[in-house]
Structure 1
Amino acid sequence: MLFTLLAFAIALGSLIIFHEFGHYWVARLCGVRVLRFSLGFGRVVLRRIDKHGTEWAISALPLGGYVKMQDDAPPGAPAAEAAGAFNAQPVGKRIAIVLAGPVFNLLLAVLLYTGPEPRRYRGAAGHPWPSRPRARPPRRRGWRKATAFSPSTARKSPPGRTPAASARRAVHRRTRARSRWPRPRGAAHERELMLPPNRHGPGRRRSAGRGGIRLAQPRPVVRSVIEGGEGQAAGLRQGDRIVAADGQPATDTGELVRLIQESAGRHMSLSVQREGALVTVGVTPRAEKVDGREIGRLGVQLGADIPRVTVSYGLGESLQRAAARTWDTAWFSLRMMGRMVLGEVSWRNVSGPVTIADYAGQTARIGIVAYIAYIALISISLGVLNLLPIPMLDGGHLLYYLVEIVRGSPPPERWIGIGQRAGLGILVALMGLALFNDFTRLFT
């Protein structure tokens, strides 16, 4: 629990500081006087005043932060001090100051994505499914997927997009696609797929599967052996890779689990690879009743041995891919929000601080690379959320400034007051929904 809270505090604190620093830095560039830079809300716990008169503070409620600027100069103030007021700035400068926070969040995501990323899984073609359109001549099992689909010639994936993602998009959009598949041994070959139109849309049915393509499943590996179980009695060890069951190749973890469950009380012969040697182990799965059905249990925890490759790029290409990945993620977030409003996506997908903290802890335990990628994802979400045209958010202020540009004068104070109350109500409702979803996930 303490580790999770610490990971959450580091992630949230760094994002808030970077967001508010964007407002602060651009405000200083525009000559606006900044009165306070606060991490958190409420009563100030620690403070320090710099030579420019800005108070740097840590407040009691660490669920956000803010930059307080001098809105209007006091009566009788010198001209130089009056020129440093926020409301005295041209609308262009005010837009730049407000826009800086979300933009800094998106830039932070680009910088974080530019760094190292987890090793990518290597795709491979499994058995072609029957009664499906497939490559002619038929694709052979074990050929690795190398390049993305394209309408006429094989090409590299767009920046920031993996070959598998490009393949799915291409299969979804086109009825004819071509892909390059290197054999395990020998030269690469191109194969053309004739695909039926996809009328189901992304996210509902696997378009690649409709084209007769199925990625090879990970090989089963013994992650742990349960004390006193049949696997321990048979001599299975942690790290054993199961390569065959009853003489049949075990290339799919799911299929092996199904076979074990169907073999309750029946002797099985498992071929395992252990320290470079092939060992045969005999075991009889124990019969257990689960939901009124008898299944076999081996007493081991099976994992997935997924082949991976390390991908690296130069600085320029890394920045390009990071920017494309940030854009894709931000656009996907906006689309999901729109689908929630239209009722096409459940509002249960809205997550609050509890879920964010949980995932922060999980990714931090996986490793620093996964944790950094998660911070980048949250930074994008924070930037996109703040750009929504909701009063009380940065996007709401931008909306007021656009109205000012169109009208030639600021909106009436009455409009602003109504908008602020409506925006506060929307934010409170969203926070309530997020917390409700968080606790629902915890207790169900």
Structure 2
Amino acid sequence: MKIIAFLLSVGPLIILHELGHYFAARACGVKVVRFSIFMGKIIWSRKFGRDQTEWAISAIPIGGYVKMLDDRDPATRATTPEDQKREFTRQNVWKRIAIIGAGPLTNFIVAIFLLAGLFMHGVPEPGNKVRIVPVESVAYQAGLRGGEAIVAVDGEPVEAWGEIHMAFVRAAMDKQEVRLDLRQEGGGNIAAVIPASAMSASKLDGDVLGSLGLMVQRQAATIGMVFPDGAAARAGLQSGDVVLAVDGKPMIDGITTIDAIRASQGQPLAVLVQRGAEQITLQITPQIEQSDKIARIKAEVLSPAVTVMVVRGPVDAVAKGASATWEQSVLIVKMIGKMFTGEVSVKNLTGPITIADVADQTIRHGLVETLKLIAAISIGLGVMNLLPIPVLDGGLLLYYSLEVLTGRPLPPKVDQHVRTVGFVLFVMLMSLALYNDVTRLIS
């Protein structure tokens, strides 16, 4: 199932990326010899069209490529006067830039329109209300207590938790203070400032908001699956019950409910639940697991975030899609930079195994979440392909930018050496990503 999820989420994006190169090459008059999905040994191919372009599927499910007539490769060297006019390296530098840049550009365009479509349809997202704030937290010191709605961050209006999260991550990257405009439950408006010192101390590869004491407001705890051999089942707890109080203390959400169960240390609890139209008190004695010494009742405690529906008109949806694509792209670039400086762990670099796992889980949550994931992957593919590594699109664009500045291409020997180094760097990067994937899988 995970392999299918990976192919469904990443495969179309790879095809669209390579089609960007393909159609740009055709538009610039360059002959395409092969169009391959994935890399390595070809496992299936067919030739079509006037140019008899080979359309292929290769064995290694990473990336893809468009092979054009290219005198640098003996296998694709132009041998006739007509082909020489359609050979890649004989085109002017601006055509080469257009052909190479078309792949990543396609990924960004796909992400913009996917996100725009979602915003026009309406996207249910966690809202902007804050859960109760821990007393010892930075947010508490700034004046937040819980129940407030964050209506603007640094002057920019927000209505969903994802927007708030992105704003805080940007501030943590830049080590800047965050100014919050808040609407209290009673209707009054207040402001709060999270200092730059707290933002600079934030762990970028962790939960930035959670580390400051900020969590999204959640719904009341609802019981999901009740396991037949557990304390919950023995006490008569049923799926669908809503937990109102434990030992007389109101339970605002699933987190407080789980905390109360774990704090019981195996002592009996009086659990007040709403079941249909009536309220029932159940006596539940949590069991302490010998493996980790944690008290449990063996029942799912569900507490989803309070959500809002984010909807935009066509023009605003495209603008918001473009803005979100730009912000995520900048965030990825900054994260990569922080990896090089050691501020973010290289363990955050992921490969196809992690993508397959996330895709498999996301598909189970419906079409909207799946399309959001595909948009995020498309942005990631676009950014990663623009990295200045010679075997990637970004490395080639760097070549051609230097050619524009100097008026001449790199000498062939230098070009070959740089490509070799770039290939080694690419293999190292992919090896690290796969190592992180396997480590996550094992742990």
| TM-score normalized with structure 2 length | 0.86
- The alpha carbon displacement at 1:204 in A equals 3.3
**What residue ranges of structure 1 are gaps of 5+ in the alignment?**
none
Q: Using the alignment, how far apart are the partners of 1:24 and 1:124 within structure 2?
A: 47
How far apart are residue 425 of structure 1 and its match?
0.7
Equivalent residue number for residue 254 of structure 2: 253
1:12 aligned residue: 10
Answer yes or no: is the 8 Å Cα contact 1:35–1:70 preserved in 2: yes
Pairing 1:38-437 to 2, within 5 Å after superposition: 38-41=36-39, 42-43=41-42, 45-72=44-71, 74-75=78-79, 77-78=81-82, 81-116=83-118, 118-127=123-132, 130=135, 142-143=147-148, 145=149, 147-150=151-154, 156-157=157-158, 162-163=163-164, 165-166=166-167, 173-174=176-177, 177=179, 179-181=181-183, 183=185, 188-193=187-192, 196-201=195-200, 203-204=202-203, 215-291=216-292, 293=293, 295-437=294-436
Identical amino acids, percent of aligned pairs: 35
Where does residue 439 of structure 2 map in the other structure? Answer: 440
Q: 1:161 to 1:29 in 2, by over 3 A?
A: farther
Distance 1:375 1:397, change over 3 A: same
- Three-state SS of the structure 2 residue aligned to 1:366 is coil
Q: Choose 272-281 or 226-235, whichever is displaced more.
A: 272-281
The answer as to whether partners of 1:160 and 1:322 remain within 8 angstroms in 2 is no
Q: For 1:210 and 1:396, locate their aligned partners in 2 and report how far apart those are by CA, in whole Å.
A: 37
Amino acid at match of 1:6: I
Q: What's the offset of the Cα at 1:33?
A: 1.8
Distance 1:396 1:178 in 2: 41
Q: Distance in 2 between matches of 1:434 and 1:58?
A: 23
Distance in 1 between the 2:238 and 2:341 partners?
A: 52
> 1:60-89, CA deviations, whole angstroms, 9 ceiling, x for partnerless residues?
4443321121225745524xx433222221
Q: Count matched residues.
A: 430
CA distance in 2 between counterparts of 1:103 and 1:337 reads 20
**Contact preservation (8 Å) 2:69, 2:78:** no
Displacement of 1:212 in angstroms is 8.3
Contact 1:149–1:170 (CA under 8 A) maintained in structure 2: no
The answer as to 2:32 corresponding to 1:27 is no
Alpha-carbon shift at residue 320 of structure 1 (Å): 1.0
- Specify whether residues 112 and 432 from structure 1 end up closer, same or farther in structure 2 by C-alpha distance, changes over 3 A only: same
Distance 1:202 1:214 in 2: 18
Cα distance, 1:178 vs. partner? 5.4
Contact 2:127 2:159 in 1 (8 A): no
Offset at 1:306? 2.6
- Tell me, what secondary structure is at the counterpart of 2:221? strand
Counterpart amino acid of 1:122?
G
Measured after TM superposition, the shift of residue 139 of structure 1 is 7.0
**Secondary structure at 1:66's aligned position in 2?**
strand
| Letter paired with 1:46 | S
SS in structure 2 at match of 1:101: helix
Q: Specify the SS of the correspondent of 1:301.
A: strand
- 3-state SS of the aligned residue for 1:119? strand
Residues 163 and 408 of structure 1: is their aligned pair in 2 closer, same or farther, counting only changes over 3 Å? closer
Aligned in 2, Cα 1:386/1:282: closer, same or farther, shift over 3 Å? same
- Aligned partners of 1:18 and 1:104 also within 8 Å: yes
Relative to structure 2, which stretch is displaced further, 119-128 or 434-443? 119-128
Give the deviation of 1:150 after TM superposition.
4.2
Is contact 2:126–2:216 with CA below 8 Å preserved after alignment? no
Supply the distance in 1 between the matched residues of 2:399 and 2:168 (Cα, whole angstroms).
Answer: 43
Contact kept, 8 Å, 2:232 with 2:284, in 1: the verdict is: yes
The 1:413/1:170 distance shift into structure 2, 3 A limit, reads closer
More helix by share: 2
Contact 1:285 1:296 in 2 (8 A): yes
Structure 1 match to 2:74: none
Flag structure 2 segments of 5+ consecutive residues without an equivalent: 72-76
**Residue type of the alignment partner of 1:148:** A
- CA deviation string 1:177-209 (max 9, x = no partner): 4524163xx7x3211336555354163398878
**Cα contact 1:105–1:380 (8 A) shared by 2:** yes
